[in-house]
Amino acid sequence: MEKQFLTLEKLQDRITSMEEERWAVANALDVALKINDIRPDAAADDSVESILAHCYNRTAKLIDLKGGAFYIFSGEDVEFKLSYADRPESAALIEKELPALIDDGTIAWTVQTERAITVRLNSGVDAFLHALATPGRTMGVFFGILRDKKENILDISYAILSMYFSQVGGVLQNR
């Protein structure tokens, strides 16, 4: 049996990968510790936009995002509306991609599964989708544009975000 020796370059790559994983786990644990702290500041603005902006910032600590937006269902309607985007360019890209994701059932699947979904968009970039849902009601959908490959997102990040988005859904429902 032939022994394989790792080159210095391969060892350095492994160390870099382990350091990145350690950083991601530390961020996931930080978000987990603050999972019930949905509002940025108890005395601050309690608007839906403020809550979603805070949620976006927490989400971006766990997964590397180019941008993102939240769509919230309006009242009892099946229609949802853009309620927050981190910047206008993100909103424009997501608005352009959204009809195809509605037509092919991806948005419906996201709402029904209430877990992380990653998809390749028509523009060639990967996106992260997740429902904002409580056990009794779906409040909306998060749409994140990934900076990194979806394969590089740790499973723990998905799990923490599922719990976090459920908490955010509860806060929105109880407003």
Residue 90 confidence class, pLDDT cut points 50, 70, 90 = very high
Higher pLDDT, 130 or 34: 130
Span 8-35+48-173: which CATH code? 3.30.450.40
Q: Which residues does residue 44 pair with via DSSP β-bridges, in sequence order?
A: none
Which segment of 41-50, 77-86, 149-158 scores lowest on mean pLDDT? 41-50
Q: Which residues does residue 118 pair with via DSSP β-bridges, in sequence order?
A: 128
DSSP element (H, E) containing 71 = strand 65-73
Residue 1 confidence class, pLDDT cut points 50, 70, 90 = very low
Average pLDDT for 146-150: 86
- Predicted local distance difference test score (pLDDT) of residue 36: 60
Residue 40 confidence class, pLDDT cut points 50, 70, 90 = low
**In the 8-state DSSP scheme, what is residue 5?**
-
Residue 92 confidence class, pLDDT cut points 50, 70, 90 = very high
Closest C-alpha among 123, 118, 124 to residue 153: 118
What does pTM read for this prediction?
0.78
